[in-house]
Amino acid sequence: MTARPEELTQTTPSPAAPVAGAPVATGVSVRSAGLDRTVLALAVGAALVAPWILHTPYWLNLLVLICIYATVNQSWNLIMGFAGIWSFGQLALFGVGAYTSALLTYHYGVSPFLGTAAGAVAAVLASMVLGLPSLRLRGAYVVLLTLAFHELLRNLITNDTTKWSGGGFGLFGFGQYGLAGLPQTDRMMVFYYAALVLLVLTNLIIWRILKSPLGLAFRALRDAEPYAVARGIPEYRFKLLVFAISAFFTGLAGAFYANFLDAVGPSIFDFGLMMNLLAMIVIGGWGTFWGPIVGTILLLYLNEALRDIDEWRVLIFGLLMILFVILLPQGLIRPLESVADRLGDRIGRRGERAPSGGTTG
C-alpha cells in the first residue's frame, strides 16, 4: 500500500525528534511569510517598472532573455535542486519546444500561439522518453544519459540532409506572434511583458507545488529516498511527474524563445549555453526558490558587461563557478536568507519586549 504525500507530513518525525538513522527532508525556506510577500512585491514592482527605465531595444532584449532563462532555470532547479535528479537534458527539452513550434509554424502554417502550446506538450513527451530510463539509474549515470540525449538531438538536427529542420542553418521568418509590423521598441515591450507573465506564472505554480504535499514528497525523495520509499512514496511515479512539470515550462519557454527571435538553429543546443545556465543556478543557489532568478539576472548582466572581452568570458564564468562551489556552495541566497531570518527574529523579539499601550487607573 502506498502513502499519499500528505500522509508523510503526519507520520514523518519532525527535525526536533528524528528517528535514528533516518534523515528528515528540509523545507523550502525558513523565512517568514511576511518577508516573502515583501520580497515578491518589490520584485514584481521592479519588473513592471524596469522597461520604462531601460527603454531601449538593447536593454529590452536583455530583459526578455532574463525572463526566458529564469523560467528555464527555475524549471531545472525544480528537478535537480528540489527533486535531486541530476538531469542535464534541460537544454535539449528547451530545444524540443523551440523546434516544435518553429517546424509547425514554418512548414504547416500553424498559428504561433498553437505552435507554442505544442512545443510545451512535445517537451513533456520528450521528457517521458528521457525520464523512463533515467530513473532506473543513479548519479553520474543519469548525467551521462541525459547529456547523450542532448547530443543526439543536436547531431540529428545539425546533420539533417533533408533540410526539413533547417540543418546547420536553422529556420527563420516564422514567428513573432503577428507583432512584426510594430515599431521595434513597441514590439520589444510587448514581448517583455509576455515573457514576464510566463516567468511569474511558472514561479507561482512551482511555488505552490513546493508548498504542497507533492513538494514535500519531492524533497523527501531527494534527501532520504530509501526512507521515503519505505513510507510508501511511489518513487518512479513522482519522479516522472517532476520530469513532466519541469519539461512543460522549459518547452514553453523554448517555443516562446524561438518566436521572440523569429529564428531557431542548432546553436540552441550549445554546450556553452548549458554551462551558463548551470552557472546561474549554482551562483544563485540551487535548491532555493529565489536562487535561479537572482543568478540569472546577475550572470546575464555580467555576460553583457564582459562582451568587449569575449574571449575571456567563459574563463571568468568558470572561475566564478569554482569560487562559489568552494566558498559559497549553497549560492548567494542561503546566506541572505540566514541574515533575513536573524533580522526577523530580532525584530520579533523587540516587539515582544515592547510595553503594551494604555494606562492603568
CB 340 within 8 A of CB 31: yes
The distance of Cα 34 from the centroid of its chain, to the nearest Å, equals: 24
DSSP code, position 18: P
CB 311 within 8 A of CB 266: no
Top-ranked range on mean pLDDT: pick from 1-5, 32-36, 177-181: 177-181
pLDDT computed for residue 33 by the predictor:
54
pLDDT computed for residue 351 by the predictor:
62
Secondary structure of residue 223 in the 3-state scheme: helix
Q: Residue 291 pLDDT more than 70?
A: yes
Q: Residue 276 pLDDT more than 70?
A: yes
Instruction: Tell me the torsion sign for CA atoms 169, 173, 175, 176.
Output: positive
pLDDT computed for residue 61 by the predictor:
95
Lowest mean pLDDT of 42-51, 221-230, 304-313, name the range.
Answer: 304-313
Q: Residue 15 pLDDT more than 50?
A: no
- Summarised one tens digit per residue, pLDDT across range 84-122 is 999 999 999 999 999 999 999 999 999 999 999 999 999
Q: Using CB atoms within 10 A of its CB, is residue 101 exposed (0-12), middle (13-18) or buried (19+)?
A: buried
The pLDDT of 42-62, averaged and rounded, is 90
Q: How many CB atoms lie within 10 A of CB 52?
A: 8
Q: Residue 294 pLDDT more than 50?
A: yes
Its pTM stands at 0.85
pLDDT computed for residue 220 by the predictor:
92
Of 107, 81, 78, give the one whose Cα is nearest residue 93: 78
Of 69, 66, 77, 68, give the one whose Cα is nearest residue 282: 77
Greater confidence (87 vs 335) lies with: 87
The whole-chain average pLDDT of the chain stands at 85
> Of how many residues is the chain composed?
361
pLDDT computed for residue 98 by the predictor:
97
pLDDT computed for residue 65 by the predictor:
96
pLDDT computed for residue 206 by the predictor:
96
pLDDT band at 218 (very low <50, low <70, confident <90, very high): very high
pLDDT computed for residue 27 by the predictor:
43
Greater confidence (117 vs 134) lies with: 117
DSSP code, position 268: G
d(CA 102, CA 280): 27
pLDDT band at 62 (very low <50, low <70, confident <90, very high): very high
> DSSP labels for 308-340?
GGHHHHHHHHHHHHHHHHHH-TTTTHHHHHHHH
pLDDT computed for residue 16 by the predictor:
38
